Structure 1
Amino acid sequence: MTAITSTQLADGRELIYFDDDAAGAASRRSQADTVDHRPLPARGEPGEVRFDALTDEWVAVAAHRQSRTHLPPADQCPICPTTTNNPSEIPAPDYDVVVFENRFPSLGPALGSIPDNPQWGTTGPAYGRCEVVSFTPDHTGSFSGLSEVRARTVIEAWAHRTEALSAMKGIKQVFPFENRGADIGVTLHHPHGQIYAYPYVTPRAGVLGAAARKFYDAADGRETLTGSLLRSEREDGSRMVLEGANFSAYVPFAARWPLEIHLVPHRQVPDLAALSGEEKDELAHVYLDLLKRLDTLYPTPTPYISAWHQAPLDDLLRPAGYLHLQLTSPRRAADKLKYLAGSEAAMGAFINDTTPELVAERLRAVGTRPSSLNHTPEGVPA
């Protein structure tokens, strides 16, 4: 059973320890270990959101993030456990999984509602919340090298934070994600992810939500779009990567990215918080399986974005919403990346350099070979 301990950092930000088990938490930390003694400055005001009337979308402006920590040396990592020479964001000398409010948030720290009925020139505070999720106290390695027990603790942290953030004032969407690899643009090498709680439904979630709602209404609520796609992919079989009792993974029929996998629960749930204990247990196993397959495709770690699509907190979109993971990578060969150039970046019209069927075949095949785990991230000395 995961043990959860909440505390505060010196500037008032919330920090939560998620331990693999209660006994381990009791033996690892004393109350004194959770006290942050750093002389931190007071937290700043949120940035702003501006309404783009041309696209009917909100854009967050967070100029204060220009000074955020960027690829520090290992002995100055801000999410390693605190030492005498490195008083980090984690006061304890050891931990399993930690979630804390980002010191340089794109959204927040204030909460509230952004303006209704915006038009050209409409602005508002960038309400919301941004949190960091450290998967392990170890500075090197990656999620794929975690034990199933530790992966299960991370999933419990995602579910806990999804439920808590969804209940906060003004929040419309909760998005857990991980950027892995320098080619993706990470600013910390330490294995970690993030959770954004937005004060609006994001453009991508809006597009997915509208398509899901249209299908749901046409089916009179008898079937969801994601559920229908999962059923079709399982029946076809050519793009399936793995199938479990509660989750299945496939390369989508119209994949945009050279490497793209969707991991979908067999039961419709809106978010991670709604998964049962049994489903979370299997998710820890199949998610590690997928990440290990990516790390086996090539001699070096594959950069990726792991994006958990959860139903927006919107009365219209949520009934048709369906939790699923979209795991994507721009890597199209061992030494080549797919760059979003004119067609993709300007027009949003993707052109894929691979075929989904061949990618699925390769991912199925590597599941039978030993994987090279715990790669040291590129550019980081072992």
Structure 2
Amino acid sequence: MTGITSTRLSDGRELIYFDDAGTTASRAAELTTDHRGLPPRGEPGEVRFDALTNEWVAVAAHRQTRTHLPPADQCPICPTTGSNPSEIPAADYDVVVFENRFPSLGPALGPVPEDAAWGTKGPAYGRCEVVSFTPEHTGSFSGLSRTRSRTVIEAWAQRTAALNALPGIQQVFPFENRGADIGVTLHHPHGQIYAYPYVTPRAAVMGNAARKYHDARDGRETLTGSLLRAEREDGSRMVMEGQNFSAYVPFAARWPLEIHLVPHRHVPDLAALSGEEKDELADVYLDLLKRVDALYPTPTPYISAWHQAPLDPVLRPSGYLHLQLTSPRRAADKLKYLAGSEAAMGAFINDTTPESVAERLRSVTVPASPASPALAGLSEGASA
């Protein structure tokens, strides 16, 4: 079992240690106390309603002063040392989750204003958390051990359940931005979790499509489940298939590199996965990230986005957990930029074919993973 220890930083923010299963790390209070004496937390920013699109926009001007690509000896998520009193007071750790010091949303909680129109604004309620995958300053998720990968997954699941239960929260979104080309502000391997007080625009579009499909079939089928079945039957875009998860390049991929990783069972979020499913996910996710990095001579920038069912009672029954991994990299020395058609109109034009991307991902050589029961039955997707 993953060890979980919650504590508080000197300004009141929550910090949680997630220790690898089988370890006996000591988390005594005197060893993990934050002695920095940080000033009290500020009030949240604000959200403003865009009447043209019926969408909320967060305004977080205080984030202009956040840490930006500091040198390694000043990294805020490395373990604390005598010369670097960081955000993580312990001298060592496995995985840590803590409230962001410069949040886009929160720290206060509550709902967005009702009956919004032009000129409507309110506090930017919600919660933003940082997930540090490792105490090592360099590296990436793909270089983690299977045990550490499993610990991160447990942290995502535990935080999803906890954030779902907070007042006013409508959607919980774990994600990772990797690489300078994506815009990361810290080199240390880490991800984030946003808990929104509203359903985000992308989630609303997907959620409404899923609900419409679900209702048309009297609640017997889900849209994501049917797409997974169709991709597995076709085969030409499959990347890998396991006992509980499969990965494929979607038929209408928008990005030069886009993979969906989907559980075979209909679950709303990471918190609903069984222990067996989490075990396999630890292996499958590592394998997928290694394949992405093996495509080019240098590490591939990506956004790893976990789509979880919103808490909206209309959208949640048809919501279906899945990962969307995307990269703007279209060649070893070329990136796709969102220009006129994509940025202004949301009309994507892809420079690669999904079938060729899937074939490349299937054929790359990746470092062997340690044998484990979760890998039994895991195979590369077969071409049609």
* TM-score, shorter chain, exceeding 0.5: yes
Q: Could you say which residue in structure 2 is the equivalent of 1:173?
A: 171
| Cα displacement (A) at 1:98 | 0.1
What is the match of residue 380 of structure 2? Answer: none
How much does 1:7 deviate?
0.1
Q: What is the one-letter code of the residue matched to 1:7?
A: T
Instruction: Provide the residue aligned with 1:275 in structure 2.
Output: 273
Aligned match for 1:54, one of 42, 46, 52: 52
Query: Residue 362 of structure 1: SS of its match in structure 2?
Result: helix
2:191 to 172, 190, 193: 193
Q: In structure 2, what residue type is equivalent to 1:106?
A: S
Please give the per-residue CA displacement for 1:6-33, whole angstroms capped at 9, x wherever unaligned: 000000000000000364223xx43211
CA distance in 1: counterparts of 2:223 and 2:129, whole angstroms: 30
CA distance in 2, matches of 1:237, 1:305: 25
Give CA deviations for 1:5-61 in whole Å, capped at 9, x if unaligned. 0000000000000000364223xx432111000021110000000000000000000
CA contact (8 A) 2:290 2:366 kept: no
State the TM-score, normalizing by the size of structure 1.
0.95
Number of residue-to-residue matches in the alignment: 369
Q: Residue in 2 aligned with 1:245?
A: 243
Q: Which residue of 1 aligns with 2:70?
A: 72
TM-score, normalised on structure 2? 0.95
Pick closer, same or farther for the CA change 1:368–1:13 going to 2, 3 Å.
Answer: closer
**1:369 Cα deviation (Å)?**
7.0
Match of 2:254 in 1: 256
1:1-382 to 2 correspondence within 5 Å? 1-21=1-21, 23-26=23-26, 29-367=27-365
How big is the shift at 1:281? 0.2
Paired with 2:346 and 2:288, the residues of 1 have a C-alpha distance of: 27
RMSD of aligned C-alpha atoms?
Answer: 1.1
Percent of aligned positions that are identical: 84
Partners of 2:332 and 2:90 lie apart in 1 by: 39
SS of residue matched to 2:172: strand
Residue 328 of structure 2 aligns with an amino acid whose one-letter code is P
Distance 2:367 2:351 in 1: 25
What is the alpha-carbon distance in structure 1 between the residues aligned to residue 247 and residue 164 of structure 2? 26
Question: Partners of 1:33 and 1:330 in 2: how far apart?
Answer: 43
Unaligned runs of 5+ in 2: 370-384
Matched residues in 1 for 2:25 and 2:317: separation?
Answer: 38
> CA 1:67–1:5 in 2, change beyond 3 Å: closer, same or farther?
same
Q: Given residue 247 of structure 1, which amino acid in structure 2 is its aligned partner?
A: F
Residues in 2 aligned to 1:187 and 1:99: alpha-carbon distance in whole angstroms? 17
**Dislocated runs of 4+, deviation >2 Å:** 21-24, 367-371
Between the aligned partners of 1:90 and 1:24, the Cα distance in structure 2 is 19
Q: Secondary structure at the match of 2:288?
A: helix
Give distance in 2, aligned partners of 1:339 and 1:63: 25
Determine if contact 1:35/1:91 at 8 Å carries over to the other structure: yes
